[in-house]
Structure 1
């Protein structure tokens, strides 16, 4: 692995654990079966879905991605701080905690995901990602970076929405890492906007505070162990904040753009009850904003 790649200090033993209320093994096993069955259904349907037009394809993708966290027992709350872009390329950037982040983003802002090239070889998920238009990049070769930036730029110029986790690795929800600037250069070159998205996970006993341990998928954590932690965690909620877009042309270079996007994503969050009050006010004063549960 190249020394320039980001490495998170988070480890399975250090932070990938759940200490709150748990489901009994049988209900948890049923959720695990339901979630895996939905994944398999998505894999089976991809070839047929690709034959549809863009609008119905986006609708079905959103419906499947919205159902997936719920199938694994995770409630989802979404708040939109600005309306969704109707046309033009858009670079969606989010913090990265778990494999759950991917369907969460796809449920609110479906687009072409950027992933490391190794995922193409994963069973089931690899073919699913490839058929879904994922842009695979070789993260361990610095010389491949310019080609990756060009591929992202071309996708954005074509009007596609491209989804990136610019921390470059999963973190356990404790501040995260720096946003790598390469993808932001693609947004600048394409004249696209940058859409920050904040992802957080909560459990009831934390009273609105962070509880990413159950969903954190870090280091050498086996996927099977992560899946079992998720379905065993009771009262788990994923909160997704779709933030206001940032024009790429308005910042002084890719590093400044990356810092601004990171600041928006990692900004201290308003407690959930305060958010709901704010949302009610937003609906009265700004019809473009909306909340979905």
Structure 2
């Protein structure tokens, strides 16, 4: 109980006011940027890749999230980034690190506000439960990778509890094969781990992590307000070493190696 109280200082009225102020600040930031980003995406300006980074960094500052980045994005292309997944907040955290686009489940496209932001960040939406569409999804992702875009795939296919890394799914790693485009040069797959480590300056335990991790059928609204009303959060992002993906690469073996690496990197964030 003590940890929960430290994560949510003040009474309900103060928490509500804090949430409202933060929502208003994010809205004031977003309103002039949305039409600019829409135009940049339509015109394929370089700004379409850089503007989301500025937006996400500002959002983190507004909602009280301190980001520490260890390592760096690999500069080689094509590049598929494979990460663990804890919360909707991961999008903002990773989006603040570098110009990235995300591979998201199809439901995200229909979510209020978040769906709009995901489309403006040039996300690719996939239907994970329809295996017969995996080939088409991989082809679309592969085309984006060949164009030079770095794409983020959440290897677990769902959100975890923020403590453990779930088994990785290998199906969408086929996008890296599609990115080869018949060329001899390899594509690259880079593991990345993120971990929420402190809240209000104190280490986050299992109960505190339950307020950050967005698992299963948790309602987005209350979870969002819990993040906005709570104490500041420290998150660490750890980049791993990129692995080559060649025509003969075993997709399932690669998924296992990425899973083990991300699990190790997540522990190193503590």
Structure with more contact order per residue of length (Cα contacts < 8 Å, sep ≥ 6): 1
Structure 1 spans left out of the alignment, 5+ residues = 1-16, 273-293
The question of 1:76 aligning with 2:71 is answered no
The question of 1:175 aligning with 2:161 is answered no
Inter-partner Cα distance in structure 2 for 1:202 and 1:30:
26
- Contact between 2:82 and 2:192, CA under 8 Å: does it hold in 1? yes
Distance 1:271 1:138, change over 3 A: closer
Per-residue deviation, residues 212-267 of structure 1 (Å, max 9, x unmatched): 22211111111122123223432421111122211122984111111111111110
Distance 1:34 1:179, change over 3 A: farther
Inter-partner Cα distance in structure 2 for 1:67 and 1:27:
23
Q: Greater CA deviation, 166-175 or 250-259?
A: 250-259
The question of 1:261 aligning with 2:247 is answered no
Structure 2 spans left out of the alignment, 5+ residues = 181-186
Distance 1:96 1:251, change over 3 A: farther
CA shift for structure 1 position 209: 6.5
CA shift for structure 1 position 128: 2.4
Distance 1:151 1:39, change over 3 A: farther
Query: Match for 2:33 among 45, 54, 66?
Result: 45
Per-residue deviation, residues 137-195 of structure 1 (Å, max 9, x unmatched): 11221211111111111111222111111211111123221111122121133232112
Distance 1:227 1:180, change over 3 A: same
CA shift for structure 1 position 271: 6.4
Which TM-score applies when normalising by structure 1?
Answer: 0.76
- Contact between 1:75 and 1:237, CA under 8 Å: does it hold in 2? yes
